[in-house]
Amino acid sequence: MNADALLARVEALEKKVIDQEKGLVRLRDIEDIKKLQKAYGYYVEHMMYQEIVDCFADSPDVKLDWLEGKYLGKAGVRKYFEFMKTAPPDFSHQVMQIAGIVDIDPDGKRAKGRWYAFGGIFIPRGGDVRRSFVSGIYEMGYVKENGTWKMLSIRWVIPYAVRIAEGWAMPEDVNRPYLAGEFRGPKPDVDIDRNDMRYLSGYIFPFHYPHPVTGKETSENEKNARLAKLKGTRH
């Protein structure tokens, strides 16, 4: 192989490495965005106000395009979620973030995504709880700020919802047989703890990961402590 051929081969290999590095960055960006979106879904389930707000960019282009109207900027995000900041324990807004498709813009600074959001909604009203299934679609915008992906915009539509006439069984109902000693399976090695908060409506199952934007510990332990006090457990 002569010098010219060797040089051409080296240049081709360098280009291949550069292209592969760009591809790896793009894949890492997509995974970071997917984690952000899914974390947002868990925070919305219990209306964890600060964690939700922290998912959004500081850009003036931030927008919530809801069916109720549009909320602009990070101040608009705060305004919208503020009124649900102290949602009662029986409230739940479980919209699972599924079937996500994420596309990174060529410059690598912004991205778009589309997700189904499906799940059970529990809204206390007076002495009753309104329960339904909701199927929604998110069209998302994302932006990379200081190396971290954040939400820039949400457009939202609800193709359909389902009302459940008989209501749903809540944790207190689902777990009543276990608490009453009616389980007919093999005896557990450790008996149940009657103060286990998994038996309570409103309990936030602790996250194993910090907030994907701030890196801070999330507030579920604080909220669960208030729930324990309200429900009268020893936790």
End-to-end CA separation in angstroms for the chain:
75
Phi, psi of 202, rounded to the nearest 5 degrees: 95, -5
Tallying the residues shown for the chain, one arrives at 235
Q: List per-residue pLDDT tens for the chain, 235 residues long.
A: 787 777 777 677 777 777 777 778 899 999 999 999 999 999 999 999 999 999 999 999 999 999 888 999 999 999 999 988 877 777 888 999 999 999 999 999 999 999 999 999 888 777 777 888 899 999 999 999 999 999 999 999 998 888 877 667 777 777 888 888 887 777 777 888 888 888 888 888 899 889 999 999 999 999 889 888 887 654 4
Q: Which phi and psi angles does 196 have, rounded to 5°?
A: -60, 120
Domains of the chain: 3-167 (3.10.450.50)
pTM of the model: 0.79
